[in-house]
Amino acid sequence: MNVSRIALKGGALVAAFALLPGAKGGCGSKEANETLASPVQGIGMIIERADGTVGARLVVISTNDRDTRFADAVDDPTVRSGEVGPIALPAADAGQFAIDSSREPSLRYVAGDTYQFRFGLDDGGLAGDFAGREFVGVVDAPDDAVSFQVTEAPAFAGDTAELSWAPAARFGLVTVRDASGAVTYTTFDLTHPEFDGSKWGRLKAGGKIQLSVDTFPTAGTYTLSVCPVVKVSDFDKSLSASLGVLSGLLAGRCAPDQTLEVP
């Protein structure tokens, strides 16, 4: 899934912009034009895990001068919902700010509630002309019961497989880990900052996904996690114009993990 920075510099990012639909009053609107120009890409996630714990994560990536980098110099990253918050999101990994309900009990997943992510970025090298603005996005938490199943198991190491989930209209956050806990597959890789739209491109709705031969490279036990989520992205009115066009928010619940023995 890694996308080279050479591809970005070659104009792939600009080409992707041209294909995105207009909203926020249309692609010629002031808001849409600002979104296209902004080098600050923010990804917010509010997820309720199968064990009932809730996690909130914000990832900030700069595409200023087409040089994709994690943005660590973020000011006051928070999440809030209803009368709860704002809850501070402490720095986690590079460009990532996160907290869960085991550390902050006031963080809860309430179906139908609107969750707001907010942060500032004063670094001109990362934010360009958008330095000093507030970056805001909101997403509503869905209330669906979720589930998934292995509809086609791998017959041997290196074989393909197929998963299906419900509700099928949701986007599937899928992660597969081997016995050591190492990720062998994910639909949404946030460990690197390269960002030309392919991150969103791998996140599919439709209720099923085909896993490639690289997902189960050796025999052994694998743990499968699927979280059907809603998505706010592109020029959605739920995102402030200060956020770049590759920004987006995800919200939803995870089905119970399943283990799979690959012979």
Per residue in 21-77, pLDDT (tens digit) is 334 444 557 788 899 999 999 999 999 999 999 999 999 999 998 889 999 999 999
Considering the domain 147-225+257-262 in this protein, what is its CATH number?
A: 2.60.40
- Dihedral sign, CA of 238, 240, 241, 242? negative
Can you give the pLDDT at residue 194? Answer: 81
Can you give the pLDDT at residue 14? Answer: 33
Can you give the pLDDT at residue 243? Answer: 97
pTM here is: 0.86
Can you give the pLDDT at residue 196? Answer: 64
Q: How far apart are CA 179 and CA 127, in angstroms?
A: 40
Can you give the pLDDT at residue 1? Answer: 39
CB 135 within 8 A of CB 42: yes
* Residues contacting 131, CB < 8 A, separation 6+: 121, 122, 123, 124
Residue in the block written with tokens 């998934």: 148
Can you give the pLDDT at residue 20? Answer: 37
Domain with CATH 2.60.40 in the chain: 147-225+257-262
Tell whether omega for the bond before 86 is within 30 degrees of 0, i.e. cis.
yes
- Dihedral sign, CA of 23, 26, 28, 29? negative
Can you give the pLDDT at residue 27? Answer: 53
Per DSSP, the three-state class of 81 is: strand
Q: Which residues of the chain have pLDDT under 70?
A: 1-28, 196-197
Q: How far apart are CA 209 and CA 156, in angstroms?
A: 18
